[in-house]
A and B are shown apart, each in its own frame.
Chain A
Amino acid sequence: MGKYILKRFIYAVIALAIIASVSFFLICMKPGDPIVAKVQQLPDSSRQVLIAKYGLDQPMTTRFVEYMKGLIFEGNLGDSIVYEGRTVNMLLKTSAVVSAKIGLIAIAIQVVIGVLLGIIQALNREKLGDQIIRVLVVLAICIPTFVFCALLQYFVAFKWKLAPIMGWGQPIHYVLPVAAYSIPGIATYSKYMRTSTVGVMGEDYIQTAIAKGCSQRRLVFRHILRNAILPIVTMVPVAVGNVFGGSMVIERFFSIPGMGQHYVKAVSDSDPYLILGMAIFFALMYIISLFFVDILYGLVDPRIRITKNAR
């Protein structure tokens, strides 16, 4: 197991290094002068000062080495060019918490409701309730997030006045974004949970449990749930890793000062280091989550551990 984890860890580091360097060169190769966007009216002398400050007069490789040094030894993800004195790390400090709060609450809701719905569906297979939920699940998967945002905002906030239309700061502001974030996930989790529960219910050990006189409650919680939840368990870390970059639409819709919002804004501002730093952060989070998934898989299913080691 130790060897397997080490191997996965090395892959994760290599992947991250490749992503960081490729993004750096991609972003820096973009034609056009990032300073121009900021200071069109400034005289040439101030321009030169700025260019020197951000090292834009250096060749790309020198900048790359400088950036990587800062990244690895100081954890400095870069400075904004458009906004004087703003760094990616500062932005992350304030906005990552916001995105994480919304995302984590939403994921908790998704998992709990999704798993419950899936089990209830599987236990009442092909009955009316199951059919209705299945139709709703298919619909929910086919509806883009911004449509949920629009529906919630229009009905819950505008027509029924149950929550503020947008904004950030008070607990009530969580309601709509979290709801919009949760719905597609609930649908996905309940779909997977239903399939996997149905699969588990066909296994021999469930027959054995019934035959030895297991109570319904014990059967569901000890025997079915424990086995059927495995695919969900491996899906959750990826969802958590995606929390920071995955809510761009929701944050934009409800004007929430989260990371997604800042990322999109950095792109429309053409702020290269801001984009780069945030992209590296997103990738880091995602890769960490994939690393956990790999370990989880290894723990859950020994066969994977062996075959991957054999390579």
Chain B
Amino acid sequence: MEANSKLIFESDDFEVVGTKGLDAEKISKPSITFWSDVWRRFRANKLSVVGLIILVLVVLMVCFGPMISGKDYQFIDYNMKNIKPNGTYWFGTDEMGRDIFTRVCYGGRISIIIGIACTVVSFIIGSALGGIAGYLGGVVDDFLMRVIEIIGSIPYLVLIVILSFVLGRSMFALVFAMTITAWTGTARMVRGQVMQLKQQDFVAAATALGASPARIIVKHLLPNTLGIIIVNLTLSIPSFIFSESFLSYIGLGVQPPETSWGALASLYQTRLMFDPYQLFFPCLMIVLTVLSFHLIGDGLTDALDPKLRK
């Protein structure tokens, strides 16, 4: 207590402890970029990492599976039909003696490609129109919102079915039918974000420096909405995979000889009572893929937007 009572300090009362030879200006830790910070937070979430691992495994299997199994997905062998899973046929064979493992891999390619293609298309359209509506406001915004409202009031499965009837049953028609309503969700979200952001000072600064609206949207507003867009991307891929499997399942999606997980499920459902394993594998792949995207999406939500965390 005696030291406390001393009121006047001399310079030799203080002693420099252990900073000799250290440069105070030097940054001792490597600087962390935004993305490495996101990755660090993402890694902390065990479930999301599990999701990522599942997804990588599924993608690897879908890409390289047919090479490893060395079989053709259309090769028919009536001597080998309905064989249960074994060493040669890892997932067994179907009613026409085709190797289910190879078929599931090929089907997965289509399912995942459709999921990604639809997502990309709907996000490009959605963020462009949403960005314009949010930034310009006024009449343009009103008009676009009315259009979105009307498109949003069509039950989307009904529309998809009409379009698949009108356009025929090609991959292109499928992607078109699924994206024509889906972009509205993205547009709404981006619009909301942009409307918030455009009030902020950096936008005023850019305007003052003479940046064109297009530049402000592309360079300043969209990058700032990127976090939310990415989370929505990860969650919209599985929903497209879902819709595709649904459509193929009721026979309006991918047509033979092409196949997808939904088309396989539809085909193998007829053997459910006798060979349930045939239906099991395509369904398992759908569930694993969708689940992994959901887990990743959860992790990304936390990682990209720390504000949301409690």
Contact A26 B162 (CB under 8 A): yes
A146 partner residues in chain B, CB cutoff 8 A: 245-246, 249, 265-266, 269, 283
Contact B155 A286 (CB under 8 A): yes
Whether, in the assembled complex, A158 has its beta carbon less than 8 Å from a beta carbon of chain B, the answer is yes
Docked Cα-Cα span, A253 to B269, in Å, equals: 9
Docked Cα-Cα span, A275 to B160, in Å, equals: 12
B272 partner residues in chain A, CB cutoff 8 A: 150, 153-154, 158
Contact B273 A154 (CB under 8 A): yes
A147 partner residues in chain B, CB cutoff 8 A: 265, 283, 286-287
A143 partner residues in chain B, CB cutoff 8 A: 283, 287
Whether, in the assembled complex, B67 has its beta carbon less than 8 Å from a beta carbon of chain A, the answer is no
Whether, in the assembled complex, A106 has its beta carbon less than 8 Å from a beta carbon of chain B, the answer is no
Contact A145 B252 (CB under 8 A): no
Whether, in the assembled complex, B290 has its beta carbon less than 8 Å from a beta carbon of chain A, the answer is yes
Contact B287 A264 (CB under 8 A): no
CB distance from A195 to the nearest CB of B (A): 12
CB distance from A23 to the nearest CB of B (A): 6
Find residues 231-266 in chain B having any chain A CB closer than 8 Å to their own CB. 238, 242, 245-246, 249-252, 262, 265-266
Whether, in the assembled complex, B291 has its beta carbon less than 8 Å from a beta carbon of chain A, the answer is yes
From known contacts A142-B287, A249-B250, A287-B153, infer whether A150 and B279 are also in contact, taking CB-CB under 8 Å: yes
Query: What interface size band does chain B fall in?
Result: 35 or more
Residues of chain B at the chain A interface (Cβ within 8 Å): 142, 149-150, 153-155, 157-159, 161-166, 238, 242, 245-246, 249-252, 262, 265-266, 269, 272-273, 276, 279, 283, 286-287, 290-291, 294-295
Docked Cα-Cα span, A142 to B51, in Å, equals: 13
CB distance from A114 to the nearest CB of B (A): 19
* Complex partner residue of B150 from A14, A252, A268, CB under 8 angstroms: A14
* Complex partner residue of B252 from A14, A138, A267, CB under 8 angstroms: A267
Q: Is the interface of A mostly helix, strand, loop or mixed?
A: helix
Docked Cα-Cα span, A158 to B286, in Å, equals: 24
Q: Which 4 A-B pairs have the closest CB atoms?
A: A142-B291, A286-B155, A142-B290, A282-B158
CB distance from A176 to the nearest CB of B (A): 13
Contact A144 B161 (CB under 8 A): no
Q: Which of A27, A144, A252 has the most CB of B within 10 A?
A: A144
Docked Cα-Cα span, A287 to B163, in Å, equals: 19
Supply 10 further A-B pairs (C-beta < 8 A) apart from A142-B294, A147-B265, A249-B250: A18-B150, A27-B166, A138-B294, A144-B262, A144-B283, A144-B287, A146-B245, A267-B165, A283-B158, A286-B158
Docked Cα-Cα span, A268 to B159, in Å, equals: 15
Query: Which residue on chain B has the smallest CB distance to residue A272?
Result: B165
B153 partner residues in chain A, CB cutoff 8 A: 12, 15, 19, 283, 286-287, 290
Contact A275 B162 (CB under 8 A): yes
CB distance from A89 to the nearest CB of B (A): 18
A19 partner residues in chain B, CB cutoff 8 A: 150, 153-154
From known contacts A283-B158, A286-B153, infer whether A249 and B165 are also in contact, taking CB-CB under 8 Å: no
Contact A30 B165 (CB under 8 A): yes
A11 partner residues in chain B, CB cutoff 8 A: 149
Q: Is the interface of B mostly helix, strand, loop or mixed?
A: helix
Report 19 cross-chain contacts, Cβ distance below 8 Å, ordered by A residue: A11-B149, A18-B150, A29-B166, A30-B166, A138-B294, A139-B291, A142-B287, A143-B287, A146-B246, A146-B249, A146-B266, A147-B286, A248-B157, A264-B251, A267-B252, A270-B165, A275-B161, A279-B161, A283-B154
Contact B155 A252 (CB under 8 A): no
* Complex partner residue of A150 from B161, B166, B283, B294, CB under 8 angstroms: B283
Contact B249 A249 (CB under 8 A): yes
Whether, in the assembled complex, A311 has its beta carbon less than 8 Å from a beta carbon of chain B, the answer is yes
CB distance from A304 to the nearest CB of B (A): 14
* Complex partner residue of A154 from B142, B157, B162, B276, CB under 8 angstroms: B276
B252 partner residues in chain A, CB cutoff 8 A: 264, 267
Docked Cα-Cα span, A20 to B154, in Å, equals: 10
B155 partner residues in chain A, CB cutoff 8 A: 241-242, 245-246, 282-283, 286
A246 partner residues in chain B, CB cutoff 8 A: 155, 157
CB distance from B121 to the nearest CB of A (A): 19
A270 partner residues in chain B, CB cutoff 8 A: 165
CB distance from A24 to the nearest CB of B (A): 10
Docked Cα-Cα span, A263 to B164, in Å, equals: 13
Docked Cα-Cα span, A165 to B272, in Å, equals: 11
Whether, in the assembled complex, A141 has its beta carbon less than 8 Å from a beta carbon of chain B, the answer is yes
From known contacts A139-B291, A249-B250, A252-B250, infer whether A23 and B150 are also in contact, taking CB-CB under 8 Å: no
Query: Which residue on chain A has the smallest CB distance to residue B238?
Result: A142
Docked Cα-Cα span, A278 to B164, in Å, equals: 15
Docked Cα-Cα span, A142 to B276, in Å, equals: 20
Docked Cα-Cα span, A23 to B159, in Å, equals: 8
B158 partner residues in chain A, CB cutoff 8 A: 245, 263, 279, 282-283, 286
Cβ contacts A73-101/B at 8 Å (1 or 0 each): 00000000000000000000000000000
Query: Which residue on chain A has the smallest CB distance to residue B161?
Result: A267
B291 partner residues in chain A, CB cutoff 8 A: 138-139, 142
Cβ contacts A143-173/B at 8 Å (1 or 0 each): 1111100100110001000000100000000
Query: Which residue on chain A has the smallest CB distance to residue B261?
Result: A144
